[in-house]
């Protein structure tokens, strides 16, 4: 390798971009990442066509409407927690639009309500002073003081991590060699997450509420690096929000703004192949045989699926990926309401380490479940018929690498989920259900998610940053979404759309990472 080759990868070297013309960009998939990319490309003057197999935008952030005798229940089918609204605002900024003109976001308070097996309850607040008082009242003053020190740690972690390791395109491990890398090491960012949390807070209740986010990264908090505490920062410090009209209102607003600025959306259009000449994409082919020529392609489907099904390739690096646990989701329209719950509720079992041993090590269903119950109609009653409620119930499960036949297990586990809910205080939950929908790992796979894992490949060290599958293939194919850099979660996916756009447009000199402001 020549000196010139080496300098291409050194910190500060020029970012790799697509080659050739980029006037017409086809975006395959109207998920949040695809929409983020499309908005930025349209704002830069490109002609953008978005092809989406469903009849609505959103991808995983979809919508399911189920009628009942009293009206329609409007369910969000994907993410239920929304954080970092500044990243959403950046998408609208790229079009010269103001987010508030398209989307109404309300803060969720408390962020979460955590229920513990000893009967104690902890409300999680974004305001540091309010949370300090909550911990002091429920646990004690020493734990409250430790919490304040922990906030200082994760805030510092976020500043160092965001601008150099998340909010930028990374072409090589050499790109990580920055002053912030040394700072991350010095503050303990590469130690294990759970022990790092215990340096500040020693009560099992606070340890759980500030480390459960490792599940989103596909890891046990005992195996995850402390750098993943940045996820805890994003929701437990920066705040949680809920859009008027439900989570699906976010992609709906993004698509409407993009369309206003010239983006063409074609729904009910399934792309089956990216036509290539050598390593250059020249067109996409739809399921009806239509050929749509383009200069550049952005692929928003799950990255392994995009490679295998659309590009006809499966690099060895993808075959070796390990995937996050999956989840069983019960959407229930109900006549019952429960006065003791909040919008987001986490119910912890007695076992904590055992949850991750079951899901990840043993690849079996949780023997002592910890679970999430979201009650979105509490924040927006218009999502359900008058006097009725919506419940989004999520039980983590192994992904499809486990030896579980969900065709037969699904109905049985649905009844087990209801039983556990009633045991945890949701009295009469099963009898009060008027309409319902169930999603198993097998359903996630049928929706295009590798191994039935909606949280994509796990964020182990060798599947993070420059070691995570890159977002550029060949001369002009770019990937966006949770399977590529920077990773999983609504904030990360929105960023991935911007990083995909930068592969086409080059670095946007007007953009400044929120971490640098």
Q: What is the pLDDT of residues 35-68, one digit of tens each?
A: 999 999 999 999 999 999 999 999 999 999 999 9
Measure the CA–CA gap between 112 and 105, rounded to whole angstroms. Answer: 17
pTM: 0.93
Q: Categorize the per-residue pLDDT at 160 as very low, low, confident or very high, splitting at 50, 70 and 90.
A: confident
Tens digit of pLDDT for each residue in 301-318?
999 999 999 999 999 889
Phi-psi region of 268 (alpha: psi -120 to 50; beta: other; left: phi over 0): left
Instruction: Please tell me the predicted confidence (pLDDT) of residue 7.
Output: 31
Instruction: Please tell me the predicted confidence (pLDDT) of residue 510.
Output: 67
Query: Which of 1-10, 57-66, 123-132, 371-380 bottoms out in mean pLDDT, i.e. has the lowest?
Result: 1-10
| Residue 136 scores a pLDDT above 50 | yes
Task: Read off the pLDDT of each residue in 469-493 and give the average, rounded to a whole number.
Answer: 94
How does strand 112-115 pair with strand 121-124?
antiparallel
In whole angstroms, what separates CA 468 from the centre of its chain? 16
Per-residue HEC secondary structure of 392-406 comes to: EEEEEECCCCCCCCH
């Amino acid at each position: 390798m020549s000196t010139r080759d080496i300098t291409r990868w050194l910190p500060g070297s020029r970012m790799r971009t697509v080659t050739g013309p980029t006037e017409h960009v086809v975006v395959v998939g109207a998920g949040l990442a695809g929409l983020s990319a499309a908005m930025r490309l349209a704002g830069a003057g490109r002609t953008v066509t978005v092809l989406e197999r469903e009849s609505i935008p959103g991808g995983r952030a979809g919508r399911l409407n189920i009628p009942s005798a009293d009206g329609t229940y409007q369910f969000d089918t994907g993410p239920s927690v929304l954080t970092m609204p500044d990243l959403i605002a950046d998408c609208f900024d790229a079009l010269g639009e103001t987010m508030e003109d398209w989307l109404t976001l309300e803060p969720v308070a408390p962020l979460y309500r955590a229920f513990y097996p000893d009967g104690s309850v902890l409300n999680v607040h974004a305001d540091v002073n309010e949370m300090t008082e909550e911990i002091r009242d429920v646990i004690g003053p020493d734990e409250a003081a430790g919490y304040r020190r922990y906030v200082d740690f994760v805030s510092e972690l976020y500043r160092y991590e965001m601008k150099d390791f998340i909010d930028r395109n990374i072409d090589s491990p050499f790109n990580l060699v920055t002053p912030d890398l040394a700072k991350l090491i010095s503050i303990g960012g590469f130690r294990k997450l759970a022990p790092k949390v215990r340096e500040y807070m020693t009560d099992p209740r606070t340890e759980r509420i500030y480390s459960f986010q490792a599940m989103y990264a596909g890891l046990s908090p005992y195996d995850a690096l402390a750098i993943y505490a940045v996820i805890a920062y994003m929701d437990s410090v920066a705040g949680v929000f809920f859009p008027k009209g439900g989570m699906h209102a976010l992609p709906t607003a993004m698509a409407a703004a993009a369309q206003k600025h010239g983006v063409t959306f074609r729904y009910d259009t399934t792309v089956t192949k990216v036509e290539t000449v050598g390593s250059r994409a020249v067109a996409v082919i739809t399921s009806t045989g239509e050929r749509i020529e383009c200069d550049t392609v952005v692929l928003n489907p799950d990255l392994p699926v995009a490679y295998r099904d659309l590009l006809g390739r499966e690099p060895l690096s993808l075959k070796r990926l390990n995937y996050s646990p999956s989840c069983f989701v019960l959407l229930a329209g109900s006549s019952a309401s429960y006065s003791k719950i909040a919008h987001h509720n986490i119910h912890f079992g007695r076992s904590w380490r055992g949850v991750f041993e079951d899901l990840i090590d043993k690849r079996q269903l949780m023997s002592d479940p910890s679970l999430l119950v979201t009650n979105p109609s509490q924040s927006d009653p218009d999502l359900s018929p008058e006097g009725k409620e919506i419940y989004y119930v999520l039980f983590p499960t192994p992904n499809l690498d486990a030896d579980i036949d969900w065709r037969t297990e699904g109905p049985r586990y649905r009844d087990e989920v209801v039983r556990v809910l009633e045991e945890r205080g949701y009295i009469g939950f099963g009898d009060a259900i008027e309409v319902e929908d169930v999603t198993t790992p097998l359903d996630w796979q049928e929706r295009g998610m590798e191994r039935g894992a909606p949280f994509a490949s796990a964020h182990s060290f060798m599947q993070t940053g420059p070691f995570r599958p890159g977002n550029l293939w060949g001369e002009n194919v770019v990937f966006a979404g949770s399977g590529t850099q920077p990773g999983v979660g609504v904030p990360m996916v929105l960023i991935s759309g911007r990083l995909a756009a930068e592969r086409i447009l080059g670095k946007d000199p007007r953009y400044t990472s929120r971490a640098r402001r």
